[in-house]
Amino acid sequence: MPFSHHPTTLTQYLIEQRRRFPGASGELNTLLLDVALACKAIARTVAFGVLGRCTGGTDPTPVGGQVNVQGEVQKPLDVLSNRVFLQRNAGSGTLAGMASEEMDAPYAIPAGQPRGKYLLVFDPLDGSSNIDVNVSVGSIFSVLRAPQDLVDSGRDATEADFLQPGCTQVAAGYALYGPTTQLVLSVGQGVAGFTLDPNLGEFMLTHPDIRVPRQTQEFAINASNARFWEPPVKRYVDECLAGRSGPRDKDFNMRWIASMVAEAHRILMRGGVFLYPRDTKDLAKPGRLRLLYEANPVGFLMEQAGGRASTGREPMLAVPPTQLHQRIGLVFGSADEVERIERYHREPA
Ligand code: AHG
Ligand code: MN
Ligand code: MN
Ligand code: MN
């Protein structure tokens, strides 16, 4: 009797996508499968929790405790996850360089290793404040094309090579280490979600065409920053809170997980809007989240799923980056809400 249901693996999905580009070399697929392998390794480490002696920021554990370029104390899992990404991807021959939240400067592919035509930028462990309390964390990645002179010369990648607007991303995605481990990615033809089958160690296609509904009644923002918000953000949130008795004429629900990957996943699954806007808390930091390895990959996924991502003032994917670790105000999710927030920024207070 023939099987009525033939599950698709990540590998099969990527091969299928590649068929649409007859000239494609397969390099991107190799890269994405290496990234997926890194995520599987991190998922295992996360699953062991304290048993793996990997949580805590101040414990006398073997790694972590250093301050990264953002001024954050690295947790052991931040450092280990970064190491896993580097080890899994350095030798694949698909990359001309890598950059991450946890490294001040770009990582050069070691001498003697083959180099390729892509750049990989990542947040190896997102939501690391949640590690110690067993709440979902994730990894986020963005794939860019290496500038031609970098590929031709074989020199080491510099910061400038990574400063490309989000609309140039070739692929982007995240892994979510929650009750199940899921991988969500886009190679520029919509968004697909995969669930890790722990028995097989394979990512299986479970969410073939993720779409973000245009409308929502759910928002996410860290309300403890309310006194630092700019007037358009304050107006938007006040109107959500006023619910049925305010100008929106409907009640809103609120969520805040403090792992952007988990918030992005919820929004991809059922809609919603997320804001970590530019605020006046620290004028040296125009926003909390980072453009190249948080805002851009999530922005790419949102736009590919029919949602929107914005700084509040302009589309996120149009922003020309100026620094590797640049921070930016970020609003993403259901298109109607993101467009409304942009409109509030344009209207006089
Ligand atoms: P990371 O753990 O990679 O440094 O990122 C943490 C980010 C993001 O995941 C989350 O949305 C935000 O920080 C949480 O901010 P608050 O601490 O203000 O809640
Ligand atoms: Mn961090
Ligand atoms: Mn992060
Ligand atoms: Mn991180």
Mark whether 28 and 134 lie in a shared domain: yes
Mean pLDDT of 68-81: 93
- Mutate which of 42, 81, 121, 259 for ligand 1? The one with the most ligand atoms within 8 Å of its CB, which is 259
Q: What is the rounded distance in angstroms from the CA atom of residue 68 to the CA atom of residue 61?
A: 17
Mark whether 47 and 166 lie in a shared domain: yes
pLDDT of residue 3: 52
Mean pLDDT of 62-67: 82
Banded pLDDT at 63 (limits 50, 70, 90): confident
Mean pLDDT of 315-335: 98
Mark whether 96 and 194 lie in a shared domain: yes
131-156 pLDDT tens trace: 999 999 999 999 999 999 999 999 99
CATH code at position 317: 3.40.190.80
Banded pLDDT at 94 (limits 50, 70, 90): very high
User: At residue 57, does pLDDT exceed 70?
Assistant: no
Mark whether 188 and 251 lie in a shared domain: no
Going across the sheet that includes 171-177, the strands are 95-100, 118-126, 137-145, 171-177, 181-186, 192-197, 202-207
CA of 119 to the centre of ligand 3 (A): 19
Mean pLDDT of 180-187: 98
ipTM of the complex: 0.93
Atom 18 (ligand 1) nearest CA: 222
Residue ending a domain, choose from 155, 180, 209: 209
User: At residue 62, does pLDDT exceed 80?
Assistant: no
Which of these, 71, 103, 69, 104, lies nearest to 86 by C-alpha position?
A: 103
pLDDT of residue 283: 86
How many folded domains does the chain comprise?
2
126-135 pLDDT tens trace: 999 999 999 9
Mean pLDDT of 78-97: 97
Angle between helices 27-48 and 10-19 (to 10 degrees): 160
Residue 209 burial by Cβ neighbours in a 10 Å radius (0-12, 13-18, 19+): exposed
Mark whether 196 and 230 lie in a shared domain: no
User: At residue 277, does pLDDT exceed 50?
Assistant: yes
Ligand 1 closest atom vs CA 263: 11
Residue 85 included in any domain: yes
Kindly report whether the global pTM for this prediction surpasses the value 0.90: yes
Taking the CA atoms of residue 318, residue 323, residue 325 and residue 331 in that order, the dihedral angle to the nearest 10 degrees is -20
Q: Which domain holds residue 277?
A: 218-346
Mark whether 259 and 299 lie in a shared domain: yes
Q: Is the CB of 35 under 6 A from ligand 1?
A: no
User: At residue 23, does pLDDT exceed 90?
Assistant: no
Residue 36 included in any domain: yes
294 alpha carbon, closest ligand: 3
Residue ending a domain, choose from 175, 209, 243: 209
Mean pLDDT of 284-313: 97
Mark whether 326 and 249 lie in a shared domain: yes
Mark whether 268 and 157 lie in a shared domain: no
pLDDT of residue 56: 58
Banded pLDDT at 54 (limits 50, 70, 90): low
Mark whether 187 and 110 lie in a shared domain: yes
Q: Is the CB of 81 under 6 A from ligand 1?
A: no
B/e letters for 35-48, b = 16+ CB within 10 Å, e = fewer, are: bbbbbbbbbebbee
Which of these, 89, 100, 94, lies nearest to 116 by C-alpha position?
A: 94
106-130 pLDDT tens trace: 999 999 999 999 999 999 999 999 9
**325 within 8 A of 70, measured Cβ to Cβ:** yes
Residue 293 included in any domain: yes
Mean pLDDT of 234-241: 98
Q: Is the CB of 260 under 6 A from ligand 1?
A: yes
pLDDT of residue 7: 86
User: At residue 20, does pLDDT exceed 90?
Assistant: no
Residue ending a domain, choose from 168, 187, 209: 209
Mean pLDDT of 13-35: 92
Q: Is the CB of 135 under 6 A from ligand 1?
A: no
Residue 1 included in any domain: no
Atom 19 (ligand 1) nearest CA: 258
Ligand 1 closest atom vs CA 126: 3
User: At residue 55, does pLDDT exceed 80?
Assistant: no
CATH code at position 18: 3.30.540.10
192-233 pLDDT tens trace: 999 999 999 999 999 999 999 999 999 999 999 999 999 999
Residue 3 included in any domain: no
pLDDT of residue 24: 84
Structure tokens at 242: 């006023």
Residue 128 included in any domain: yes
Mark whether 118 and 22 lie in a shared domain: yes
Residue 5 included in any domain: no
Task: Classify 252 as helix, strand or coil.
Answer: coil
Mark whether 97 and 129 lie in a shared domain: yes
DSSP string, 256-304: --S-HHHHHHHHHHH--EEEE--BSS-TTSSSSEEIIIIIHHHHHHHHH
Mark whether 164 and 247 lie in a shared domain: no
Residue 304 included in any domain: yes
